[in-house]
Chain A
Amino acid sequence: MTMTPDPPPRGQVSRRSFLQTMGVSAAAAAVQAQAERADAAQPSSAPTTLSGPGPIEITLNVNGSDRRLTIDPATTLMEALRWHAGLTGTKEVCDRAACGTCSVLIDGRLVNSCMMLAYDAQGSRVTTIEGLARPGSLDPIQESFIRHDALQCGYCTPGLILASKALLGANPRPTLDQIKKGLAGNICRCGTYTNVFNAVLDASGQSPLMDSEAPDA
Chain B
Amino acid sequence: MRDHTPTDMPTRNRPMNRGASLADDASRLDAVAKVTGAAKYARDMYPADCLFVGFVRCPVGSGQLAARDEAAARAVPGVLEVEIERDEGRYHGQPVGHIVAESKTALRRAMRALDARWTPGPCSVEIEQAAGEPPQTQGDIAQLLERAQHVLDATYETPVQTHSPLETHGGMAIHHGDRAELFSSTQGTSAAADGIEDQFGLPRAACEIHCEYVGGGFGSKLNGAGREGAIAARMSAKYRRPVSCFTDRDEDHLDTGNRPSSRARVRIGFQADGTVLGGHIHTWGGVGVARGGGGCAIPSNHYDLGRIQKTSEDVQLNAGAPRPFRAPGWPQGKFAEELMLDEICAACGLDPVEMRLRLERSDDRRDMIRTGARLIGWNQRRPNGSGGAIRRGFGLGTTDWPRFPRQAEAEVIVNRDGSVEVRTGTQDIGTGMRTVAGVLAADRLGCGLERVNVRIGHSSLPPGPGSGGSMTSHNTAPAIIEAALQARNALLDAVGDRLGIPPDELSIQNDHLIHDQEPMMDWAEACAKLPRDAVIGRASSDTPQSQRHVGEGHSQGVQFVDLRVDTQTGIVHVDRIIAIQSCGQVVMRKGAESQIIGGVIQGVSYALFEHKIHDKATGTMVNPNLEWYKILGSADMPRIEPVLWTKGQTGVRSLGEPPTIPTAGAIACAVFNAIGRPVRSLPITPDKVLAALEGGGR
The chain A residues found within 8 Å of chain B, CB to CB, are: 72, 74-75, 79, 82-83, 86-96, 98-99, 101, 128-130, 132-133, 136-138, 142-149, 151-158, 161, 179-181, 183-184, 186-198, 202, 207-217
Contacts and interface: CB of A to CB of B under 8 A. Distances in A.
A156 B643 CA distance: 25
Contacts of A132: 36
B166 A198 contact: no
Contacts of B631: 187, 189
Interface of B: 1, 4-10, 12-16, 27-28, 30-41, 43-46, 103-105, 164-168, 213-216, 218, 248-249, 367-368, 371, 374-375, 429-432, 578, 580, 590-591, 593-594, 597-602, 605, 625-627, 631-635, 637, 639-641, 643, 645-647
A207 B11 CA distance: 11
Contact of A143 (B6, B430, B634): B6
Contacts, number: 232
A180 B16 contact: no
A153 B35 contact: no
A96 B627 contact: yes
A154 B34 contact: yes
A1 to B, nearest CB: 13
Given A94-B625, A179-B634, A192-B597, A72 B105 contact: yes
B40 to A, nearest CB: 7
Given A143-B6, A209-B13, A180 B634 contact: yes
Nearest to A154: B34
A189 B36 contact: no
Given A72-B103, A72-B105, A153-B429, A215 B16 contact: yes
B625 A146 contact: no
Given A79-B104, A189-B165, A152 B35 contact: no
B249 A94 contact: yes
B16 A93 contact: no
Contacts of B602: 189, 191
Interface centre among A132, A133, A179, A193 (most CB of B within 10 A): A193
Given A72-B105, A143-B6, A187 B14 contact: no
Contacts of B249: 93-96
B625 A149 contact: no
B248 A95 contact: yes
Main secondary structure on B side of the interface with A = loop
Given A152-B432, A153-B215, A209 B627 contact: no
Interface centre among A86, A133, A137, A189 (most CB of B within 10 A): A189
Interface centre among A90, A154, A193 (most CB of B within 10 A): A154
Nearest to B582: A217
Contacts of B167: 91, 93, 153, 155
A99 B46 contact: no
Contacts of B28: 146, 149, 151
Contacts of A216: 371
A87 B46 CA distance: 11
Contact of B38 (A89, A136, A189, A191): A89
29 contacts: A72-B105, A74-B105, A83-B103, A88-B40, A88-B46, A89-B38, A91-B215, A93-B626, A98-B626, A98-B627, A101-B166, A129-B35, A130-B37, A130-B38, A146-B32, A148-B9, A149-B591, A153-B429, A154-B33, A155-B41, A161-B35, A183-B634, A189-B165, A191-B600, A209-B639, A210-B13, A215-B580, A215-B645, A216-B371
Contact of A208 (B4, B13, B31): B13
B164 A189 contact: yes
Nearest to A140: B6
Lowest 4 A-B CB distances belong to which pairs? Answer: A89-B37, A191-B601, A153-B430, A155-B215
Contacts of B598: 152, 190-192
B34 A151 contact: yes
A76 to B, nearest CB: 10
Contacts of A184: 633-635
A83 B643 contact: no
A202 B13 CA distance: 11
A98 B430 contact: no
A190 B216 contact: yes
Contact of A151 (B31, B46, B431, B643): B31
Given A94-B625, A138-B4, A146-B5, A189 B105 contact: no
Contact of A149 (B36, B214, B578, B594): B594
Contacts of A214: 15-16
Contacts of A193: 597, 601, 633-634, 637
Contacts of A187: 166, 626, 631, 633
B133 to A, nearest CB: 38
Contacts of B371: 215-217
A179 B635 CA distance: 9
Contact of B36 (A133, A180, A211, A213): A133
A5 B430 CA distance: 36
Given A136-B4, A153-B430, A212-B375, A142 B36 contact: yes
Nearest to A210: B13
B36 A89 contact: yes
Contacts of B6: 138, 143-144, 146-147
Contacts of A195: 593-594, 597
A177 to B, nearest CB: 9
Given A155-B215, A189-B631, A193-B601, A138 B32 contact: yes
A182 B606 CA distance: 23
Contacts of A146: 5-6, 27-28, 31-32, 35
